[in-house]
Amino acid sequence: MAQIKTLADLQAVKERVYATMKTRVEAFDKSLSQIRIAMATSGISAGAKEIFDYMIEKTDERQIKAVITQTGVIAEGNNQPVVVEVVMPDGQSKIYENVDKKSADAIMDSLKA
């Protein structure tokens, strides 16, 4: 990390930190869609971490207003596939199973409308 030598350097660090914390702060904003990815051990071994990272990257690129968080088990099962729950601002939720990058794209496209 570069040394902070000026007030401008400090301000740049502050902006970077705030940008990374934005998702945590917005998690309390109930006007945004919530995307919850099951990240229990079985979900991680099925590829949930990759889908989590992919969805964070793509929602930013596509400027989709949603909060992506990780959670424990969403659907019971020994060999849990990658499971994603989407909770809309009105409280309705939908659970998707066996999510891969293609279906993650479809989920994000449905939030753009």
Return the CATH number at 101: 3.40.30.10
Give the tens place of pLDDT for each residue, 5-52: 899 989 988 888 877 676 566 666 778 899 999 988 888 888 999 999
The listed range with the strongest mean pLDDT (24-33, 42-51, 75-84, 98-107) is: 98-107
Question: In this structure, are 43 and 90 located in the same domain?
Answer: yes
CA proximity to 55, closest of 101, 8, 5 = 101
Question: In this structure, are 70 and 51 located in the same domain?
Answer: yes
What pLDDT was estimated at residue 100?
Answer: 94
Question: In this structure, are 36 and 16 located in the same domain?
Answer: no
The residue that leads in pLDDT, 103 or 72, is: 103
CA proximity to 71, closest of 93, 101, 102, 103 = 93
Question: In this structure, are 51 and 94 located in the same domain?
Answer: yes
Q: What is the mean pLDDT of the chain?
A: 84
pTM: 0.72
Q: How many CB atoms lie within 10 A of CB 106?
A: 11
Q: Which helix (H) or strand (E) holds 68?
A: strand 66-71
Question: In this structure, are 23 and 52 located in the same domain?
Answer: no
Question: In this structure, are 73 and 20 located in the same domain?
Answer: no
Q: If you ran DSSP here, which 8-state letter would residue 75 be given?
A: S
Q: What is the mean pLDDT of residues 93-111?
A: 93
Question: In this structure, are 35 and 61 located in the same domain?
Answer: yes
What gap in Å lies between CA 20 and CA 1, rounded to an integer?
A: 16
The residue range of the domain holding 22 is: 1-28
